[in-house]
Amino acid sequence: METLIWSVHIIAAVIIIILILLQQGKGADMGAAFGSGASGSLFGASGSANFLSRMTALATTVFFITSLTLTYFSGTSHSGEESVMQKLDMKSGEVAAPAAGGDKLGTSEKEGEGDASRVGEIPE
């Protein structure tokens, strides 16, 4: 069900983009007033604006409904799980304690040898 809603949501978004790009701006009729003749279209000067604006409103309504539905699904699908902060608290208790001599992690130092004897050593 959620996949179907995602599909409708994406299709509605693409349709909105296409419909908005097809519409004329408010200033397009100003050019027709000076004789350029750019106001003509497939459905007539005012018919195209009404048809395209109504289709845009319909696609926008579908987009908002699918957005709200997806929001509802995302909130109810994880209802049994804990919050992120509770998971973080559980994991912080599982962290291992630092090794003894925390500044010497990863080194194998024999007893009795100091740091001065390791100055020229090449690690293997």
> Which phi and psi (to 5°) does residue 79 adopt?
-70, -30
**Rounded-to-integer distance, Cα 119 and Cα 29, Å:** 83
Task: Find the mean pLDDT for residues 70-87.
Answer: 73
Is 16's pLDDT higher than 70?
yes
Task: Find the mean pLDDT for residues 28-55.
Answer: 63
Most confident of 61-65, 77-81, 108-112: 61-65
Residue 112's contacts (CB-CB under 8 Å, 6 or more residues apart) are: none
Average pLDDT, the chain: 73
CB 63 within 8 A of CB 13: yes
Looking at residue 57, its pLDDT comes to 94
Is 56's pLDDT higher than 80?
yes
What's the whole-model pTM score? 0.49
Q: Is the dihedral of CA 92, 95, 99, 103 positive or negative?
A: negative
